[in-house]
Amino acid sequence: ERVAAIVAGEPVNLLETLAVRIADAILQDARVRIVEVTVHKPQAPIPLSFGDVAVTVQRVQHGHEQHRVVSDA
């Protein structure tokens, strides 16, 4: 439900922003130590031929610290 609310909520311009918001929400659960989120947008507004655009974000929680790794794969 949390992820659905984020996706349906405030619009974002970048897939990275959406992926980070989702990952951050998931990491609020104390049981979660690592999360990897991939957001796909098969019909992204890019003036080139492509099948899919996706961004993957991995977040790892160490105590109260969070380290962010963003990759375009």
Name the residue among 47, 36, 37 with its Cα closest to residue 15: 37
Catalytic residue among 2, 41, 44, 68: 41
Handedness of CA 25, 6, 42, 48 (dihedral sign): negative
Catalytic residue list contains 41? yes
Q: Which residues are catalytic?
A: 41
